[in-house]
Structure 1
Amino acid sequence: MKARLPFIFIIITMMLNSIGIGLILPVMPSLITELTGGSISSAALWGGVLATTYAVMQFFMGPTLGNLSDRYGRRPILLISLVAMGLDYILLSLAGTIWWLFAGRVIAGITGATFSTASAYIADISAPEKRAANFGLIGAAFGVGFIIGPAIGGFLGEIGPRVPFMAAAVVALGNATLGYFVLPETLPQSKRRTFDWTRANPLGALMSIRKIPNLTGLVVVFLIFTISHQVYPSVWSYYTIERFDFTPKMIGASLGAFGFFMAIIQGGVIRMIIPKLGEMRTAMWGMGLNFVVFILVAFLGEVWMLFALMPLMTLGAIAGPALQGIMSKLVDDDAQGELQGIFASVTGIALILSPITMTSIFKYFTDSDAPYYLPGAPFLASSLLEISAMALLFVIAKRIWGTAATPAQ
């Protein structure tokens, strides 16, 4: 059991990181309106700015922290990040201005970019044949945390919009304390290397896209799909407040339910659908389903309809792994790692672009001088993105394989 403690700690760390993110989601609209004195429409735009800022820092600092861990070891980078994250949550709980909150999200983006370091730690302590399965457990832990976090955050948010930040600080600092006692270093001095800024370039993976035939168009499809599907975390809290007058508790409950269905889809349903339909048909059906569901969500009139549609909202996410599967079959075995780097970079760009885009659309159509009041407008924008990605995939498939039903049908 003692030998398993470091592995268990990393899994718990990723889950607690996810819980920390989820804790604050239900109360961000309330805190922003408190700090700015504006409407929920204006708060949404600020929320988009804050989310994009966080994503930018994650995008650029993820490779940097990973490379720093190659130089100084995994343990110090992980522990320092956890302590800094806990202190940042305290800073956020005390925010007196929106710029204070902005500075806090910058720090949060830096300290939260520990996924690459955690993955490197898992690689250090795992046998080669078990690494893929253990990496999967990191993703599963993150998903479980995102179910628990919003639910707890919504409950605590009923006490006050700053309480979840305090709870997140306790979680992070408690985890750092645990790690101090149970987390050994896994990278010996003999295997450490000099830090090199050129190897910490997050855009480096994108430069290799042109080396792989037929990949560029499919990467564009994946980018459009990811931007579209990120509409849910980008505007969910603001949309549900504006459309259904949700309280933090209801926002937390709805996000928890969404996470629950997503875990079912990602954990089991995908494994049944893709083998039966093949990657191409799965991607097409997934994006087609998203197109329809986004339109339905845009015009929802009752709360029960929102919850009833959640299984279909999350089912549409199957298009993402299907697209990744299509691209992986175009790449040689010795370039699969490079392809994963491309996926990470593209996802990072989508996480930067989607929040600011979707919240800007939300503000435009919910402002007092909006030409047409429609809180669900971001979902209509996503539906257009989905049908565009679907059409582009169809054209690419016809060009590469001569039919839209391959590879693997």
Structure 2
Amino acid sequence: MSQTGEITEETSPGASVSPQINAADRQKRTKIIYIVYVIAALDITWTFLQFSVTPYLAKKLGFDTLWFGYLQTTVGIIQLFGGPMFGRFADLFGARVALSLACTSSVVFFLLLAAANHPAMLFIHKLPTVFMHVMPSCQMVVADLSEPEKRADALSKLGLCFGIGMITGSTLGGHLNTRYGETFTACCGAVGSAFSLLLVVKFIPKTTKVHAPKTSTESENKNKSVFSLGQITRLMKFPGVTPTFLVKIIASLPPGIFQVMFSVIALDFFKLQPQQNGYLMAYFGIVQMVMQGGVIGRLTASYSESSLLLLSIGVSSLVGLCQAYMHNVFHFCLTVVPMMFSLSMFNVITDSMLTKSVPSSDTGTMLGLCTSVQSLIRTVGPTAGGFLYVNYGISSIGLTQFVVNIAVFAFLLQRRLKKRAEQKD
């Protein structure tokens, strides 16, 4: 690492870490990755702290299920366009600047939430989410600094951080909201985000990209604008990117609808109070930690990514079928284990496959596109989920997940069997 805080390794385009990396450089990389894990865990903590505020504040301000869906859709639209541009911004200007911008936006987001005393303010406080991409930035750093064969395991550790943040944020948010109210809880989120910003400025290097000899094409790409749609969508031309990306979109949509509707389901269907909702989210976090820390890493070391992708989609379809026939919180808790397994495995594997398919100089942009998938879900999910829930009940959401994911599973299985047959011939 140079004195300017840059990674100074020579490597070929598309590789994240060279085999000739020395022990001192590896130790520095490991330290940065561990700090990124801390930043990610803190960011998720503040995110789930916010989840303990917004639904209940929206209800106090007169929002019904439909208008709360509009609020969620607003966030999805903002981040749908902001994610890819932010990813390219991170590629061009480096990890420190990108993470600093994301954390600063989180501070503004929570301050506006604390000041929200009118329905319009709930929409206004969502505007900073266009830059609130701490987790994709953390994924970019981990992808840049981890060896390709260990990337899936390294990315899965971010999921472990997600579980820690989910437990801490949900529990803390539930208690703070119950005892001190929404305004105080939002202010705590602003202070926490400011602390995350200090960690970024202090410990994250200016850039985590390797210094490889640049081709004329790469040099040209670096000179393009952050807002160049062509430079963002060109990644779809790399081999294997488009099919994997389409699978990510289609298979993510049904379980994503359930996720974006869960706050409404918890409030309306399960009749949970803020503190009870916090305990349930903490349970999610515990399961997430077990899956990411003790299951996914071992599976990625033993099985191919294509096999694990197939497994995650198959399990997801069964989860949807179980959710279609649940009647209470206990029934739902039984589905949480396979649900968290399928979601965690699917996201880790698809992110790993996609970042390996593009040059290392474009991992941020690729992860920004991956983030846009989640934003797309948040855009169409609340409207679609609200329509299904209001007109056909919670079972319709689960059945939709079952049908869509079993179709994707059958498609991938058929494609895999066909490929094996061609290899034998």
Class of the TM-score when normalised by the shorter of the 2 chains = 0.7 to 0.9
Does the 8 Å contact 1:242/1:375 carry over to 2?
Answer: no
**CA distance 1:377–1:198, change in 2 (3 Å):** same
Q: Which moved more, 1:56-65 or 1:3-12?
A: 3-12
Does 2:239 match 1:207?
A: no
Report how far residue 34 of structure 1 moved: 2.4
Q: Deviations over 1:280-339 (max 9, x none)?
A: 4443343222222212213311221111221121122365268649957xx9x7846489
Does the 8 Å contact 1:362/1:377 carry over to 2?
Answer: no
CA RMSD, aligned part only?
Answer: 4.0
Does the 8 Å contact 2:238/2:357 carry over to 1?
Answer: no
Structure 2: any 5+ residue segments left out of the alignment? 1-27, 212-218
Q: Which of 120, 140, 145 is equivalent to 2:165? A: 145
Does the 8 Å contact 1:32/1:46 carry over to 2?
Answer: no
Report the Cα distance in structure 1 between the residues aligned to 2:317 and 2:149, rounded to whole angstroms: 38
Q: Which of 9, 13, 38 is equivalent to 2:63? A: 38
Q: Which amino acid aligns with 2:246?
A: V
Does the 8 Å contact 2:235/2:358 carry over to 1?
Answer: no
**CA distance 1:42–1:187, change in 2 (3 Å):** closer
Report the Cα distance in structure 1 between the residues aligned to 2:143 and 2:366, rounded to whole angstroms: 19
Paired residue for 1:216?
242
Q: Which amino acid aligns with 2:286?
A: F
Paired residue for 2:9?
none
Does the 8 Å contact 1:144/1:263 carry over to 2?
Answer: yes
**CA distance 1:347–1:106, change in 2 (3 Å):** same
| Structural mapping, 1:1-400, within 5 Å | 9-35=35-61, 37-39=62-64, 41-56=65-80, 58-67=82-91, 69-70=93-94, 75=96, 78-79=99-100, 81-110=102-131, 112-115=132-135, 118=138, 132=151, 138-159=158-179, 160-177=181-198, 182-183=202-203, 186=206, 196-198=223-225, 201=228, 204=231, 206-212=233-239, 216-273=242-299, 278-317=304-343, 320=346, 324=350, 335=358, 337=360, 344-367=367-390, 370=391, 372=392, 374-400=393-419
Report how far residue 402 of structure 1 moved: 3.0
Does the 8 Å contact 2:287/2:337 carry over to 1?
Answer: yes
Does the 8 Å contact 1:291/1:382 carry over to 2?
Answer: yes
Q: Which amino acid aligns with 2:397?
A: P
Does the 8 Å contact 1:284/1:390 carry over to 2?
Answer: yes
Q: Which moved more, 1:76-85 or 1:97-106?
A: 76-85
Q: Deviations over 1:213-261 (max 9, x none)?
A: x653343222212223323431111112121101122222222211221
Q: Which amino acid aligns with 1:309?
A: T
Q: Which amino acid aligns with 1:384?
A: V
Q: Deviations over 1:53-73 (max 9, x none)?
A: 353254144225414634xxx
Report the Cα distance in structure 2 between the residues aligned to 1:76 and 1:338, rounded to whole angstroms: 16
Report the Cα distance in structure 2 between the residues aligned to 1:62 and 1:324, rounded to whole angstroms: 20
Report the Cα distance in structure 1 between the residues aligned to 2:352 and 2:207, rounded to whole angstroms: 35
Report how far residue 115 of structure 1 moved: 4.5
Report how far residue 43 of structure 1 moved: 4.1
**CA distance 1:184–1:247, change in 2 (3 Å):** closer
**CA distance 1:376–1:47, change in 2 (3 Å):** farther
Structure 1: any 5+ residue segments left out of the alignment? none
Report the Cα distance in structure 2 between the residues aligned to 1:69 and 1:272, rounded to whole angstroms: 35
Report how far residue 385 of structure 1 moved: 2.0
Does the 8 Å contact 2:161/2:289 carry over to 1?
Answer: no
Q: TM-score, structure 1 length as denominator?
A: 0.77
Q: Deviations over 1:105-136 (max 9, x none)?
A: 121331x2245655676789x69799957766
**CA distance 1:399–1:255, change in 2 (3 Å):** same
Tell me, what secondary structure is at the counterpart of 1:198?
coil
Does the 8 Å contact 1:23/1:150 carry over to 2?
Answer: yes
**CA distance 1:267–1:342, change in 2 (3 Å):** farther
Q: Deviations over 1:116-169 (max 9, x none)?
A: 655676789x69799957766555434422332122112222232333312101
Q: Which amino acid aligns with 2:182?
A: P
Between Structure 1 and Structure 2, how many residues are aligned? 384
Instruction: Give the share of equivalent positions with the same residue, in percent.
Output: 15
Does the 8 Å contact 2:39/2:199 carry over to 1?
Answer: no
**CA distance 1:109–1:19, change in 2 (3 Å):** farther
Report the Cα distance in structure 2 between the residues aligned to 1:186 and 1:152, rounded to whole angstroms: 33
